[in-house]
Structure formats: C-alpha cells, structure tokens
Chain A
Amino acid sequence: MKFLAVIAGKIIILLSRLFKAGGGSALPGLVALRIDPRLIAKITSKLKHGTIVITGTNGKTTTAKYAAEILRESGYKVVHNRTGSNLVRGIASALIEQSTIFGRTRGDIGLFEVDEATMPNAIPQLKPKIVLVTNLFRDQLDRYGELDTTARMIGSSIAPLQGAMVLLNADDPLVAWLARDVNERSRVAFFGLDEARYISTSRASMDSKDCIICGSELQFDRRFYGHLGLYSCPNCDFKRPPLDFEAHNIYLHGVKNSSVTLRGSDKSLDVALGLSGTYNVYNSLAAYALVSTLDVDERNISMALTNSDAAFGRMERFVVNGKETYLLLIKNPIGLTQIAETLSTDSEARNFMLVLNDNFADGTDISWIWDADISALPRHSNFIYTTGIRAGDMALRFKYEGFETGKIVLVETIDDAFEQALSRTGDGETLYVLATYTGMLHIRNYLTRKGFVEGFWKEVA
C-alpha cells in the first residue's frame, strides 16, 4: 500500500512539473493518502530525530524556514513542507517528494508547518517531539469557526503528547493559556518580547483582549502588535507567564532589515536579521527557541537568520523589466495591518497593487479586510490598483478609508492589473503587490510564464 501510494504521488509530481501545472504541492499527497491513509505515520516514524510541528495563525512558514536552515547548516537532513502547503495533503506531498520510490525517507528529522484546523488530524500521525504555537489571530473564520474553537482544537491535539517539548508564545493570552492542556509528562517553555520600544497603538486586531478565566478585560502594560503584549488580568491571577526565551534590543531599519538580541536560559545571541517588522522578530525568536533543544552551533543560527530571505511569497523581491517588485502575502487583518505599518516607514513606497481572491485557500469570507487598519499606508501614493475576484470589495475598503478615489484603479484581470501597475511604476521606483494566497500564486505563475522567475518547484528541489 505504501509503495503504491508513494509511486502514485511521485508520478503526479512528475506530471505536474512536466506540464507546468503548478508545484505539485497538494495533489500528490491527496491521491497518495487515498491509497494509504497511514502513509504519513509510516514514513515519519522512520525519522531518526523525530518531527517538529509549527502551528498558529501567522509566522509558521518563516519560522519553519529559519529553523530548517539552521538545522541543515548543523548537519541535519531535514524533511520539510516548504511551499506553505500545510494541510495533511501538503505534508504527505512533501514526504513523498523527499522519499525514495520505496517510501524510505531521505531525511533524519521532520519539520512541518501545520494548519491550525489540521492539528487534530496531523498530530496523532506525526507524533512530534517539539510543538511550537506562534500566535492566534483571526484568520479565515469561515473555514475554522472562531478563535476559541481554534485554540481548543490545538489544545486537545497536544494534550495526549508524552515526552514532548511544547513552546508557546507567552505574549499571546490564548496561546499561553494552552499550557494547561499539556500533559505532565511533557514540558512547556514560553517565548516572548522584552522590549519597551515599538509599542503598537493601533486598536485593530485586538482579538484576545478578555481574560480567558474570568472574562474581564485584560490590562496591557505594553502591546507589541495586535493583542500580543505584556498583559495581566485586573480581576484574577492570569497574566503573561515568565519567559524562557526572549527577544530584546530590537532595532527595525525600515522595511529592509533589523537587529535583535535573542536570549535563552544561560546564553544570548546578537543577530542582524535579513527581514524587518515586529512579526519577523517573533519568527526569529521562535526559530531560536525551536533549535535550542537540538544540537546546533550558534554561528549557524546567526548565519541563517541573517541570510534567510522571506519565505515563499511572504515578502519576495523580483526585478521585472528593470523595475523592483515586492510580493507580499496578505491573509488576515493583523498581517495586513503590520504590512501597512512596515510600509509606512519607507517614504519612497508609493506604488501599490492589491489582489483579493476568495477561493478556499484564501478564505471565502473577505470581510476581514475591514478589520485591518490600513490607515498607515501612505496617502501620497501614485496609485492603488485593486484586482482579483473581489477587486470591488478591496476598492471600497480604500474608498471608505478616505483614499482619493481617483487613485484607486479597479481592474478585474490580475495580469492586466499587474501590467498596467508596472508600466505606471517609474524607473528606480518599487511596485508593492499585496496579494491573498491564490492571488500570490497567480502573480508568481505569471512571472514564471514571462520568464522573470523560475518555478518554485525548482527552488524546492
């Protein structure tokens, strides 16, 4: 069964590349799991150093990418679902791709980002040694139900784990609260920020502002972004737990890079990050915490955090017709708010395009765009193109935020919108493309077709 499933998967991977039908990151796994539903457990049980699981709303892909590079530099053979395909089928596809045709894995450690709703299904098969939860923000409510439900889903999936290390973001009240679900035979460690600068003032995305125990409104001494911060309940003893891993001395240098000091129990490390934004500080801290229980060299940590560029489509830079283009993934209110705030630090940023699709992978309910705080985006922009299946909704979001309607250009076809936006981007200027997941894939496929970028499966291979 396993053999047949792996062969079928491998044939589909081959075919989809042959016909350039996409990266083959979901279908091979889907078919293989039909043939052998226990395929994931069968392959991962052979990994010498076990598996690591990263879940949560934001930062999964970047954290996993950081950790993968650190581990690889340290000599581990990492099996990793790199393209951000984080449902069970994506995990299976990655395993098939990185196995021999007999289904024998080529790796010795598994590193998987797992969709929050997929946790109950994936955890019993992956039996991870380490689980990390990044944060819980509102995301694609139509698919998952509400935030509390998501937390319960993660909690019940990690509850049976024995001998595991569970790493939780202390700054997120709902994530910190998951500690109660951890079995006494497993361990919990908390990570968070120790920083008095870069305090967020936006009221957007305060998703978990009430005490989980008594319902009172939590008091925040400081907020780092969204509802992540230093909180305590005025009514009961719920508060941010003490930190085992922390980031301090944070300096953000525009959108290009930043620096931070990461601290573990008895050591600390100064790193220059190749990425910027408070959310990437969290991602680097999470990766630091993840590898700390494994056998890695500090130099490999610094090197990976400095040299990593953004994960697939998260914040990629392309040069198209001599013009610089950044592709930024948007998928929920807090992500869009953070991107708007990061862009606002660059006075040169003035050419924007937004792609809003509402396919299943984007989340079919697009009302979240109204929960994002886009007011930080520069008003002196040259233009704002809106495109995609729900281009009209995105155009309205800007209109009702008070952006000049003359600057908002609604173009239904994504290719047309991109070509127009690019042609209106001046020499030496940058075009910022903010896109939901399938919109991002569309743009990337377009760039591949036009020969500006190699297909992502080539990078993965």
Chain B
Amino acid sequence: MSNISINLYHLYPDAMNLYGDYGNVLALVKRCEWRGFDVVVTHVKQGDSVDFNAADIILMGGGQDRSQQVIAHDLKQRECALKEAIEQGVCALTVCGAYQLFGHYFRTKEGLELPGIGVFDVHTEGSDDRMIGNTLIDCYSFMTPVDRALLFRGSKLRKLELVGFENHSGKTYLQEDVTPFGKVIKGYGNDGASQHEGCRYKNAFGTYLHGPLLPKNPWFADYLIVLALRRKYGENIEVIELDNSMEAAAFYGAKKRALTAKTTHI
C-alpha cells in the first residue's frame, strides 16, 4: 500500500484559517497515514506559483473580511487553473469564506462586490442576520446512486448526517440546477430559508459547516479520500476501515447539541 500517495493542497493556510480549518487538513493527513498512504501537504500562499493538476484534494477555509478581500484578488489569478482541475475531477472542500469565493461573487450589505471564481454556480449576498450555531444536515438525498453504493456498501442506512458549526451573515443562493450539499435538519444552511446547505459540483464541495467538519464526520473525510484515490488509481481501489469510536463520540455530542439548541429560523 505504501506506493499510494495523496497530494493535499491547502490554500492560504495563514489568511484563511478562521475556524479551526487546520483540523480538516489534519484529519485527511492522519486518516491517510493510518492507512499507510504517503501524504504531501502543499501550502499555497498569496503569489505562490503552483500546478493544480498535481493536486488530489484542495482545501480552503474561511477568513476575516479584511483577509478575504486580499485573498479574493489572488484567487482570481488562479481561476482558470482551479476550474480546469475541478473539471478533471480533483476533489475540493471549501468552507465558509472559501465557499463564497468559489461562487460568482459576494456582495456586501454596503453593495461592495467581491468577485469569486465561479466554480460553483452560486452567489452570496450580505445580510443583517448572523446565522450562528451547531448545525445538522443530511447529505443522503443529494447523492448519486454511485456515491450511495460507495458510502453505504449495502447497509440499510438512509441518511448521511454531518454535524458542524456555522457562523455567517452572507446568504448563498444556488442557481436552479445546482446540487446542494445537504438538507438542513437543524440550523440555517445557505440562506436560512431554503433548507439547503452548501453545494456540490463534480468532486468539489462548498459548505458553511466548520467545527472543523472532517474530524468528527470521518465518513465524509473517508469519502473524499476514496473519491481522490479512485480518480488516481482506478475504480477498484478500496480503503480499510479505521476505528471511529472516538469520532463517533464527538459526532453524537455535537448532534445532541444541535438538536437541543434553541435556534430559530430567520
């Protein structure tokens, strides 16, 4: 197995790391290492020249408003390269601010427009509502039969629940044919009204869930790893199961918190 290798590209680790996003990198690295895969993490900073064709998984998190403006400009220079990589099936997980910048634009309340790179056919509008709290979503209904077969392997489960914490005032609107990431069970999601959370295009995911997402949703972390490996090594690649008991404890702790919270929909 040691000849299996994964290249992680972490975009703007300094500027876009507001909500423990480093935890997502760590989760992928460790879950690959525990299986004996080689992992190389490339930190992409402003102005660095990089070849996204070599990437297997791209990660990018959220930042403060000030960082986000600087980063938006740098990201714009990489628009073509990133779009091409996503078209080729490279995996990407973009959280919060990164999700917004992977859409067409973010327009603040004051009318200032921050251009995105349009990987996702979505746009975001600033609002006066702060959407904060523990969140529970179900990704099952938006998965393809292939995904379901991959994730559930004959089990009778009809849910793929993910837990996280959202904190945003931007409302993200999906064009009609865009696939959401999940259905909101508890929380606000994209806009506080549609009951949809995040979006997906090919193997790229956008979501407001931080927490961080991957350590306590190891099933989804493994799904990203499997997607990346299948693209690189073929459809028949299998990964061994890991002991997820500690992850499950964290998941259920967060789920309980989300379900008992008194969040009101705006």
> Which positions in A face B, CB cutoff 8 Å?
138, 141-142, 145-148, 206, 209-210, 215, 358, 364-371, 389-393, 395-397, 399-402, 405, 408, 410
Contacts and interface: CB of A to CB of B under 8 A. Distances in A.
Contact of A393 (B17, B64, B254): B254
B132 interface: yes
Instruction: Enumerate the 3 nearest inter-chain pairs by beta-carbon distance, A residue then B residue, closest first.
Output: A392-B250, A370-B20, A367-B20
B200 interface: no
A368 B246 contact: no
B20 A369 contact: yes
B254 to A, nearest CB: 7
Contacts of A146: 18, 64-65
Given A206-B14, A389-B253, A365 B19 contact: yes
Nearest to B167: A142
Interface stretch (B75-83, B176-184, B207-215): B207-215
A274 B211 CA distance: 37
B67 A392 contact: no
B23 A392 contact: no
A283 to B, nearest CB: 27
B23 A141 contact: no
A392 B256 CA distance: 12
B246 A408 contact: yes
Given A367-B19, A367-B210, A367-B212, A210 B67 contact: yes
B22 A371 contact: yes
Contacts of B14: 206, 209
Contacts of B250: 390, 392-393, 395-396
Contacts of A367: 19-20, 23, 165, 210-212
Contacts of A393: 211, 215-216, 250, 253-254
A399 B243 CA distance: 12
Nearest to B33: A402
Residue among B27, B66, B70 having the largest count of chain A Cβ atoms under 10 Å: B66
A392 B167 contact: no
Given A365-B19, A370-B22, A405-B243, 4 more contacts: A142-B133, A209-B14, A368-B20, A400-B26
Interface residues of B, number: 40
Contacts of B70: 210, 215
Given A146-B65, A210-B66, A365-B19, A391 B249 contact: yes
Contacts of B167: 141-142, 365
B104 interface: no
28 contacts: A141-B18, A142-B165, A142-B167, A210-B66, A210-B67, A215-B69, A364-B165, A365-B165, A366-B165, A367-B165, A367-B210, A367-B212, A369-B20, A370-B22, A370-B23, A371-B17, A390-B253, A390-B254, A390-B257, A392-B250, A392-B253, A393-B254, A395-B250, A400-B26, A401-B26, A402-B30, A405-B243, A405-B246
Contacts of B252: 392
B134 interface: yes
Contacts of B133: 142, 364
Interface of B: 14-15, 17-23, 26-27, 30, 64-67, 69-70, 130, 132-134, 165, 167, 210-212, 215-216, 243, 246-254, 257
A396 B67 contact: no
A129 to B, nearest CB: 33
A402 to B, nearest CB: 8
B130 A396 contact: no
Contacts of A358: 257
Contacts of A365: 19, 132, 165, 167
Given A358-B257, A393-B253, A399 B246 contact: yes
B249 A392 contact: yes
Contact of A391 (B211, B243, B251, B253): B253
B64 A147 contact: yes
A171 B140 CA distance: 50
A401 B70 CA distance: 31
B19 A395 contact: no
Contacts of A368: 20
A400 B30 contact: yes
A399 B33 CA distance: 13
A396 B163 CA distance: 14
Nearest to B261: A364
Contacts of B210: 367
A370 B213 CA distance: 11
A142 B246 CA distance: 25
Contacts of B27: 400
B253 A370 contact: no
A304 B27 CA distance: 46
A369 B212 CA distance: 10
Nearest to B215: A396
Contacts of A405: 243, 246
A145 B130 contact: yes
Given A142-B167, A148-B64, A215-B66, A410 B249 contact: yes
